[in-house]
């Protein structure tokens, strides 16, 4: 295993691979030296350092790809692509430019004396080798306020399509996202106008994502084909993940295919780029399309586990077939439930595969037959419409007809509707929809169509019949693989009330199949009544339901991660009954907790813990979610239940226009727990849902779909928990053996929660090993008889680890993982006989690292440093809300530690020097000073963006120390000197007679320009005049969202130019020529737009 891999190691490995066959990229290695920031002779051919394209290659490529387009038109297009997009909404710009990139641009021109038009292509998608691929490293780009230097950029025909940011192997790649990618988007947004893929790597781990995606939605790319077996341990140990990414994605043909066919925009704002499994799966399907005649129309079964993006894979498949295959294709997408049909249709519409006005959802079987005869390009329908419905009874109301289950008429011959062989039938959850007569009707109607089965579960037992209808698996991506890839979170199950579980194996009982549905017909209800298994009688026993309800009321508020929850009952009546019972025991639980809290010391840990639980219980809202049916009020009343209030809540719309689904999907909404029996168990995606209470017999596919409700990725969510009240997992173990086999051979759809607790022990051992490598034995420390010595040794451990940023960050990762596992195992871990001798010490260290606990000696050390730093903290409390804005204050101070102001002029540098020399826990106090500087810098930069140079100096000081290039004493002295410089900088506005806002404008205007004293004074007065003009006219010019409207943007720019070029002094000196004048005007405008977009400062916009 390699001990250390530098950014340069990874960079050179990537460039070396790309330079050689079979990639054969052109490679440009720019000089990363700071003195080369403005040097245009860097091999990129750019006209200025703001450009993010390679203009010479771009222009040559346009000519090569479009030989029949007049040169002046190509010049215009090249000029447009080379412009600075920083002042635009980059996400909207990225959407617009991607469409042009993919589809080309139509231009008009005169040819042979006549008006003509043609399409201009930017990329040759049919012949990848006809494009120019260039990898450029360390290219300096001039941003709004400073120069930035991405590690590697991949250009296709001179357009920057792939961004690669690297870290050394000891740094988490999340830091590359938080500190680098985020700042690049802020400082050089122009780079992302054309970007299609962002890559983050530290060698051990490499992840991809869209430029505007959150880090949780970045993903690995390790496979070139589904047959590849991945050894993650080897990849991480050898630090070769970036090389796997290059092999799997940056081959010319692969990258071109990806850019053309595997990028979607949802509602033109959410960029969705295909994950590794989606890319391979869709391409496998496309191979089957090529061979569809040999396959006799059975293109295969597409098994991708729930939560892995099947509906987006469908959309990508449909678009690729339409783009890459010749023909007039039609796609028929079939589901068996209204909510799934609606969801998939919405996904296709939001991603613009279909238009919002396209009529493609037939209302009934008759209209479906008309649609199929009419050769529509897309049809979304239920399988039930491939039948003849019973005639409507005159006595039935239309409302009742809509809610009753429609029963097809069997025995009537179904007609042939189309003999075309270019129809693709995409059947979602095919194992459910292949009812004998309806499936046969579908094939009778479309005898020459091509059929594909999409499923989130494997084909088990009798469901293997699906293979006969559709063919073999064309793509497999199981649950274990999705967890390994981070596409879903792992699931754990818990048997919390063993005495309520079913003791007999119910898996072969037809009753289980029947109760999967909510609305039973008479025959189904009769079969249940006569069932010898008596499952329902056992499940619905009142004393049993009471035990479960009491357990839910106890468990739900005591979980570690407080995600949303779902209680699954056997039928609608039981769902309502469980709601009522949980409500009752919820109140009882609150009473008991209140009494318990009253008997503990106020403000103690126990008091605060109990208060947190009670506060959570107070805000939790619950709801019943069941489908509507005819005469439901009477049916529920016969059971002694009231459905009316529940139905009203299910149908209610909030003042904000949110329905019950929207509310449950919103992680911040107080609707936290729902009671269901069948609705929302399939095709319903709530990423924050983390706990499923299962009290309904299920098997095979239905069970897998239900538990997958808890497997979605969500920030802070370590896993999903399935509380099993019916013994499902006991009886399902054998049936599910084939379900989830990962690349490492692991098998599970869900693991026992005891295994999660076992992971805690493994994590503790990892922490112990980490400390041993640094000559710290925590087991020996905790075995020390003296409590005081023990605490001192643990304090010294903290002081030793925090001294080195690299060690500190590594150990914090371990501690965070430990705490997350511990939190995820609550409250079950309290019910086990579990303990570990060093667990408490590690939790103490976690508390110190994250400032969650107080330790008298550590706090004294911090207090001494804090007293010196906090001399600068004003006792004045400042209200911070939407109406009060720090940037509007003309004081020399910055926000720090909540609502207090810091006056850096009161910092005692000599006192800091003295304190550090005599400190016992030097690293602790130095860390406090670093935190102080970091926060101070951030808030100083918030007041004046040109101060970013101080932040870069601060990072350089720390990096040199971490690399061993600075002795301790020099390190401390450099930090103190930086504080002194910040002190001086903080008073500069006052010294110059300017407000903070005026100083920022002044600094932007003089940045990069040498001026005489007289010229500087003129710029100073101009800055005051501009700020006054804009501030006095805020109500007219800087209205809400002014930056979004072209007219109001033009008003702001016009005001800037009027002041800067006023006929009378003050105005910019004559040394500002026309180019510099325009550059400064645009710089100020873009900065004001940035303030408005981010919602801070005086330029953010006010209601007129």
The contacts of residue 238 (CB under 8 Å, 6+ apart) are 1, 2
**Nearest C-alpha neighbor of 375 from the set 414, 331, 325, 342:** 331
Confidence label for 833 from pLDDT (cuts 50, 70 and 90): confident
Question: In which band, very low, low, confident or very high, does the pLDDT at 521 lie, cut at 50, 70 and 90?
Answer: low
Bridge partners, 455 (sequence order): 303
Question: How open is the CA angle 1050-1051-1055, to the nearest 5 degrees?
Answer: 115
CA distances for 964 relative to 220, 801, 967, 968, angstroms = 33, 15, 7, 10
Cβ-based neighbours of 231, under 8 Å, separated by 6 or more: 743, 744
pLDDT tier at 386 (50, 70, 90 boundaries)? Answer: confident
- Written as six digits, the tokens of 750 are 């869900």
Q: Compute the average pLDDT of residues 933-950.
A: 83
- pLDDT reading at 401 higher than 50: no
Residue 878: predicted pLDDT? 34
pLDDT bracket for residue 488 (50, 70, 90): confident
CA distance 1067 to 1085: 17
Most confident of 337-351, 547-561, 900-914: 547-561
Among left, alpha and beta (phi > 0; psi -120 to 50; other), residue 45 is left
Tell me the mean pLDDT in the region 255-273: 96
Judged against a pLDDT cut of 90, whether residue 464 lies above it is answered with: no
Give the CATH class of 276-477: alpha beta
d(CA 1039, CA 1056): 16
| DSSP code at position 177 | I
The per-residue pLDDT for 849 is 75
Using alpha carbons only, what angle is made at residue 286 by residues 470 and 252, rounded to the nearest 5 degrees?
Answer: 155
Q: Which one-letter DSSP state was computed for residue 86?
A: T
Q: Which two tokens stand for residue 533?
A: 């298994």
d(CA 428, CA 446): 17
Coil, helix or strand for 791?
helix
3-state secondary structure string, 438-497?
Answer: HHHHHHHHCCCCEEEEEECCCCCHHHHHHHHHHCCEEEEECHHHHHHHCCCCCEEEECCC
- Of the candidates 104, 85, 97, 126, the residue with the CA atom closest to the CA atom of residue 265: 97
Q: Which residues contact 857 (CB under 8 A, 6 or more apart)?
A: 791, 792, 795, 921
Contact 430, 469 (CB under 8 A): yes
pLDDT score recorded for residue 900? 39
| Residue 293, pLDDT score | 93
Element of type H or E holding 389: strand 388-389
Residue with more model confidence, 337 or 323: 323
Cα 1080 to Cα 778: distance, rounded to the nearest angstrom = 59
- Which one is predicted more confidently, 867 or 804? 804
1082 vs 636 pLDDT, higher one: 636
Tens of pLDDT along 242-255?
Answer: 999 999 999 999 99
- Mean pLDDT value across residues 465-478: 79
In 3D, which of 1041, 1080, 1037, 1044 has the Cα closest to residue 88? 1044
H helix runs in 881-947, sequence order: 909-918, 922-943
Tell me whether the omega of the peptide bond preceding residue 22 falls within 30 degrees of 0, making it cis. yes
Q: What is the mean pLDDT of residues 307-311?
A: 88
Between residues 94 and 336, the one the model is more confident about: 94
Helix axes 1074-1094, 996-1006, angle to 10 degrees: 140
Q: Is 445:452 a contact under the CB 8 Å cutoff? A: no
What pLDDT score does 716 carry?
85
| 3-state SS class at 329 | coil
Residue 551 has pLDDT above 90, yes or no: yes
Residues belonging to the chain: 1104
Contacts of 799 (CB under 8 A, 6+ apart): 921, 922, 923, 924
DSSP-based three-state secondary structure for 367: helix
| CATH topology for the 491-518+544-749 domain | Rossmann fold (3.40.50)
Q: Could you say which DSSP state residue 240 is in?
A: -
Q: What is the mean pLDDT of residues 388-414?
A: 51
d(CA 933, CA 491) in angstroms, rounded, equals 42
For residues 686 and 657, is the Cβ–Cβ distance under 8 A?
A: no
Average of per-residue pLDDT across 918-926? 69
- Any idea which architecture 7-266 has in CATH? Alpha-Beta Complex (3.90)
How sure is the predictor about 512, in pLDDT bands with cuts at 50, 70 and 90? Answer: low
SS3 694: strand
Give the separation between CA 251 and CA 21, rounded to whole angstroms.
10
Question: What pLDDT sits at residue 511?
Answer: 61
When pLDDT is averaged across residues 573-585 and rounded to a whole number, the result is 97
Q: State residue 877's pLDDT score.
A: 35
CA atoms within 13 A on the CB side of 846: 17
360 or 967: which leads in pLDDT: 360
H or E segment at 379? Answer: strand 378-382
- Of the candidates 741, 706, 225, the one whose C-alpha atom is nearest the C-alpha of residue 482 is 741
DSSP secondary structure, 546-582, as one string: HHHHHHHHHHGGG-SS--EEEEE-SSHHHHHHHHHHH
pLDDT score for 736: 52
Apex CA 410: angle with CA 409 and CA 411, to 5°?
130
Position 879 confidence tier, pLDDT thresholds 50, 70, 90: very low
- Residue 812 CA to residue 806 CA, distance in Å, equals 10
Residue 872: what pLDDT? 45
Of the listed ranges 346-350, 417-421, 714-718, 725-729, the least confidently predicted one is 725-729
Mean pLDDT for 322-350 is: 91
Whether residue 944 has pLDDT greater than 80: yes
pLDDT for position 604: 87
- Planar angle of CA 33, 39, 45, nearest 5 degrees: 120
- Phi then psi for 262, rounded to 5 degrees? -125, 30
Provide the token pair at 563.
């995600």
The lowest-confidence range among 500-514, 582-596, 841-855, 884-898 is 884-898
The answer, yes or no, to whether residue 911 has pLDDT greater than 80, is: no
Higher pLDDT residue, 934 or 354? 354
Mean pLDDT of all residues belonging to the chain: 83
Q: Which residue has the tokens 């804009």?
A: 1030
Sign of CA dihedral 376, 380, 385, 386: positive
pLDDT at 883: 29
The pLDDT assigned to 506 comes to 58
Lowest-confidence pick of 90-94, 447-451, 804-808: 804-808
Q: How far is Cα 642 from Cα 622, in angstroms, rounded to an integer?
A: 16
pLDDT above 70: percentage of residues in the chain: 82
Q: Which helix (H) or strand (E) holds 346?
A: helix 338-350
Each domain of the chain, given as residue ranges in start order, spans: 7-266, 276-477, 491-518+544-749, 755-853, 857-992, 996-1094
- Range with the poorest average pLDDT among 49-63, 68-82, 491-505: 491-505
Average pLDDT over residues 156-175: 93
1007-1043 pLDDT tens trace: 888 999 999 999 999 999 999 999 998 888 888 888 7
Q: What is the mean pLDDT of residues 1046-1060?
A: 91
At residue 394 the predicted structure's pLDDT band, cuts being 50, 70 and 90, is very low
Mean pLDDT of 141-163: 93
CA distances for 1058 relative to 100, 1011, 1029, angstroms:
36, 22, 10
Cβ neighbours of residue 57 closer than 8 Å, sequence gap 6 or more: 45, 132, 134, 155, 157, 158
Provide the Cα torsion 220, 221, 225, 229; round to 10°. Answer: -50
Beta bridge partners of 137: 29, 152
Residue 525 is predicted with a pLDDT of 57
The mean-pLDDT minimum among 18-27, 266-275, 355-364, 773-782 falls in 773-782
Fold match flag (7-266 vs 276-477): no
Tell me whether residue 695 is exposed, middle or buried, using C-beta atoms within 10 angstroms of its C-beta: 0 to 12, 13 to 18, 19 or more.
buried
* Token reading at 769: 């090993």
Neighbours of 154 (CB within 10 A): 24
pLDDT, one tens digit per residue, over 8-59 is 999 999 999 999 999 999 999 999 988 888 899 999 999 999 999 999 999 9
């Amino acid at each position: 295993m390699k001990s250390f891999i530098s950014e340069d190691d990874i960079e050179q490995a990537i460039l070396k691979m790309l330079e050689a066959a079979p990639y054969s990229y052109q490679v440009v290695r720019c000089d990363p030296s700071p003195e080369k920031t403005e040097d245009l002779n860097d091999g990129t051919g750019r006209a200025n350092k703001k450009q993010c394209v390679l203009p010479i290659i771009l222009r040559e490529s346009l000519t090569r790809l479009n030989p029949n387009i007049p040169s002046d038109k190509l010049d215009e297009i090249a000029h447009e692509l080379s412009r600075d997009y920083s002042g635009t909404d980059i996400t909207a710009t990225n959407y617009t430019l991607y469409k042009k990139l993919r589809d080309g641009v139509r231009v008009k021109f005169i040819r042979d004396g006549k008006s003509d038009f043609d399409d201009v292509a930017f990329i040759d998608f049919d012949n990848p080798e006809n494009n120019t691929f260039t990898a450029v490293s360390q290219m300096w780009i001039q941003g709004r306020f400073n120069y930035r230097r991405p590690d590697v950029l991949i250009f296709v025909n001179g357009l920057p399509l792939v961004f690669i940011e690297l870290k050394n192997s000891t740094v988490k790649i999340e830091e590359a996202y938080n500190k680098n990618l985020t700042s690049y988007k802020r400082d050089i947004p122009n780079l992302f106008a054309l970007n299609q893929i962002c890559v983050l790597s530290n060698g051990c781990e490499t992840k991809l994502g869209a430029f505007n995606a959150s880090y949780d939605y970045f993903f690995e790319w390790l496979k070139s084909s589904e047959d590849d077996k991945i050894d993650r341990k080897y990849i991480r140990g050898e630090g070769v993940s970036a090389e796997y990414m290059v092999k799997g994605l940056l081959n010319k043909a692969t990258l071109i295919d990806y850019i053309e066919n595997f990028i979607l925009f949802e509602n033109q704002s959410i960029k969705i780029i295909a994950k590794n499994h989606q890319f391979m799966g869709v391409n496998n399907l496309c191979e089957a399309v090529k061979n569809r005649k040999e396959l006799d129309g059975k293109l295969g079964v597409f098994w991708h586990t729930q939560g892995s993006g099947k509906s987006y894979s469908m959309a990508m498949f449909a678009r690729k077939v339409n783009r890459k295959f010749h023909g007039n294709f039609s796609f028929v997408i079939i589901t068996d439930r209204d909510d799934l049909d609606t969801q998939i249709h919405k996904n296709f519409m939001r991603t613009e595969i279909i238009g919002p006005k396209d009529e493609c959802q037939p209302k009934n079987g008759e209209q479906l037959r008309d649609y199929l005869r009419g050769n529509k390009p897309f049809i979304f329908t239920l399988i039930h419409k491939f039948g003849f419905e019973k005639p409507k009874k005159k006595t039935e109301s239309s409302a009742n007809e809509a809610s009753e289950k429609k029963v097809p008429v069997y025995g009537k011959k179904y007609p042939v509707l189309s003999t075309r062989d270019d129809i693709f039938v995409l059947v979602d959850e095919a194992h459910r929809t292949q009812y004998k007569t309806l499936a046969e009707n579908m094939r009778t109607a479309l005898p020459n169509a091509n059929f594909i089965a999409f499923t989130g579960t494997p084909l088990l037992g009798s469901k293997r019949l699906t293979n006969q209808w559709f063919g073999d698996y064309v793509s497999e991506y199981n649950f274990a693989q999705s967890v390994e890839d981070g596409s879903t979170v792992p699931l754990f199950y818990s048997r919390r009330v063993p005495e309520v579980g079913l003791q007999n194996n119910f898996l072969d009982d037809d009753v289980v199949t029947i109760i999967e549905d909510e609305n039973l017909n008479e025959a189904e209800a009769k079969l249940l009544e006569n069932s010898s298994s008596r499952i329902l009688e056992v499940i619905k026993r009142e004393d049993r339901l009471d035990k479960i309800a009491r357990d839910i009321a106890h468990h739900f508020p005591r979980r570690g991660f407080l995600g949303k929850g779902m209680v699954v009952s056997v039928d609608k009546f039981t769902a309502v009954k469980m709601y009522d019972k949980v409500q009752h025991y919820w109140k009882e639980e609150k009473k008991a907790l209140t009494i318990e809290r009253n008997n503990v010391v106020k403000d103690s840990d126990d008091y605060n813990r109990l208060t947190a639980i009670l506060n959570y219980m107070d805000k939790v809202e619950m709801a019943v979610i069941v489908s509507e049916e005819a005469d439901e009020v009477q049916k529920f009343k016969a059971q002694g239940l009231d459905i009316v209030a529940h139905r009203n809540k299910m149908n209610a719309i909030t003042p904000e226009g949110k329905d019950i689904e929207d509310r449950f999907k919103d992680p911040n909404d107080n609707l936290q727990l729902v009671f269901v029996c069948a609705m929302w168990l399939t095709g319903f995606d709530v990423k924050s849902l983390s706990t499923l209470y299962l009290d309904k017999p299920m098997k095979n596919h239905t069970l897998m779909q239900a538990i997958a409700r808890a497997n979605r990725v969500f920030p802070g969510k370590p896993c999903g928990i399935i509380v099993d009240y019916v013994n499902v997992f006991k009886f399902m173990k054998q049936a599910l053996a084939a379900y989830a086999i990962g690349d490492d051979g692991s098998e599970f759809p869900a693991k026992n929660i005891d295994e999660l607790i076992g992971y805690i022990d493994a994590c503790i051992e990892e922490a112990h090993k980490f400390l041993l490598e640094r000559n710290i034995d925590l087991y020996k420390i905790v075995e020390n008889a003296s409590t005081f010595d023990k605490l001192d040794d643990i304090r010294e451990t903290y002081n030793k680890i925090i001294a080195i940023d690299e060690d500190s960050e590594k150990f914090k990762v371990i501690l965070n993982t430990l705490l997350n596992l511990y939190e995820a195992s609550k409250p079950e871990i309290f019910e086990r006989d579990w303990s570990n001798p060093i667990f408490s010490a590690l939790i103490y260290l976690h508390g110190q690292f994250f400032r969650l606990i107080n330790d008298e000696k550590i706090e004294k050390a911090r207090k001494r440093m804090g007293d010196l730093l906090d001399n600068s903290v004003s006792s004045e409390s400042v209200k911070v809300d939407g109406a009060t804005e720090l940037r509007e204050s003309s004081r020399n101070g910055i926000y720090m530690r909540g609502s207090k102001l810091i006056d850096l002029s009161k910092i005692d540098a000599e006192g800091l020097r003295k304190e550090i020399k005599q400190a016992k826990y030097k690293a602790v106090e130095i860390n406090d000073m670093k935190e102080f500087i970091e926060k101070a810098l951030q808030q100083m930069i918030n007041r004046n963006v040109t101060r970013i140079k101080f932040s870069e100096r601060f990072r350089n000081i720390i990096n040199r120390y971490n690399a061993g290039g600075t002795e301790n004493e020099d390190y401390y002295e450099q930090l103190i000197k930086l504080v002194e410089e910040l002190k001086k900088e903080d008073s500069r506005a006052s010294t110059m007679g300017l407000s903070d806002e005026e100083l920022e404008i002044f600094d932007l205007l003089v940045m990069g320009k040498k001026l005489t004293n007289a010229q500087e004074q003129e710029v100073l007065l101009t800055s005051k005049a501009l700020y006054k003009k804009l501030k006095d006219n805020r109500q007219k010019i800087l209205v809400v969202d002014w930056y979004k409207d072209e007219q109001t943007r033009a008003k702001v720019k016009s005001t800037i130019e009027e002041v800067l070029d006023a006929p009378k002094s003050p105005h910019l000196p004559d040394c500002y020529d026309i180019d510099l004048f325009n550059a400064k005007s645009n710089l100020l405008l873009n900065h004001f737009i940035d303030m408005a977009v981010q919602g801070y400062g005086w330029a953010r916009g006010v209601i007129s």
